[in-house]
Amino acid sequence: MLIIILTVAGLVVWVLLKLIAATPALLKDVKACRGHWAEARLRHCEGGLAVTGIPVEPFNTFSNLAYFAAALLVVRTFGTVPAMVLAASLTLLGLGSSLYHGTKTKWGARLDHAGMYAVFGSLAIYCVMPPHPLAPYVMAGGAAAFAIGFAFVAPGDLNARMGLLLGLVSIRGFLLGRTHLTLVSLGLFVVAFIVWYIDQRSSVLNRFGHAIWHVCTAAAVAVMFAAVAI
């Protein structure tokens, strides 16, 4: 079942990229080296789309299927409305990041950021909301507000905001006594950040550095939800 869903998701991403590639109006702000990821550099991104084609970064693009897998895992494991809200946020992140790495457009980067804010914003809201029938819908509205407000209306320091939200979410995991799950999640985030840092500055990880980031952060979010879920 998982393989079928991921295959379909991968085909959807591939079709979207083909449609975007055939629509010049969507490619007015392409910077193939945007983000300075090793895969783009190894594909000679300085030559632009004429050299790389679309997807600009194939491994970085399709490794985002990890977020779709995490979304499915969260829903199948917990089956709650909050789990579905987080899964929707993870799906947005997977799609946004795929289109960003596939096209290297500014709007793709904003969509990628929107997905990140939706995931961590929804988690943060879930951690502070009291039990209430409407609480999951507040969580969904908050995720949308984080995504739109921070990614499109008032862009700012992404790393600082993500770090703050992750720190707040982690507190709940520790206070619930789920120390091991919380530490595993944080450990995965640390590994992901180290790989992210290396990938921007060298090619030692070949084309797979940022792909590892995607897989590690997808797993980390799923584990963190397990740590804070009630």
Q: What percent of the chain has pLDDT over 70?
A: 100
Residues 6 or more apart whose Cβ sits within 8 Å of residue 198:
204, 205, 209
pLDDT for residue 143 = 93
Q: Say whether pLDDT at 130 is over 90.
A: no
Question: Distance between CA 87 and CA 72 in Å, rounded?
Answer: 7
Question: For the segment 89-126, what is each residue's pLDDT rounded down to a tens digit?
Answer: 999 999 999 999 999 999 999 999 999 999 999 999 99
Q: Say whether pLDDT at 156 is over 90.
A: no
pLDDT for residue 157 = 86
Do 173 and 115 meet the contact criterion of CB atoms below 8 Å apart? no
**Mean pLDDT score of the chain:** 95
pLDDT for residue 230 = 84
Q: Which range, of 133-137, 200-204, 226-230, averages the lowest pLDDT?
A: 133-137
Q: What percent of the chain has pLDDT over 90?
A: 88
pLDDT for residue 118 = 97
Q: Say whether pLDDT at 166 is over 90.
A: yes
Q: Say whether pLDDT at 2 is over 90.
A: no
Which domains does the chain show, CATH number per domain?
2-228 (1.20.1070)
pLDDT for residue 56 = 98
CA 135 to chain centroid = 24
Summarize the confidence of residues 10-14 as an average pLDDT.
97
Q: Say whether pLDDT at 132 is over 90.
A: no
105 beta partners: 30
Q: What angle do CA 192, 218, 130 make, to 5 degrees?
A: 115
Provide the token pair at 219. Answer: 């797993």
Q: Say whether pLDDT at 154 is over 90.
A: no
Q: Say whether pLDDT at 127 is over 90.
A: yes
Question: Distance between CA 147 and CA 129 in Å, rounded?
Answer: 19
pLDDT for residue 181 = 98
Question: Distance between CA 147 and CA 230 in Å, rounded?
Answer: 24
143 beta partners: none
pTM for the full predicted model: 0.95
Summarize the confidence of residues 49-69 as an average pLDDT.
98
Do 106 and 29 meet the contact criterion of CB atoms below 8 Å apart? yes
Do 63 and 211 meet the contact criterion of CB atoms below 8 Å apart? yes
pLDDT for residue 101 = 98
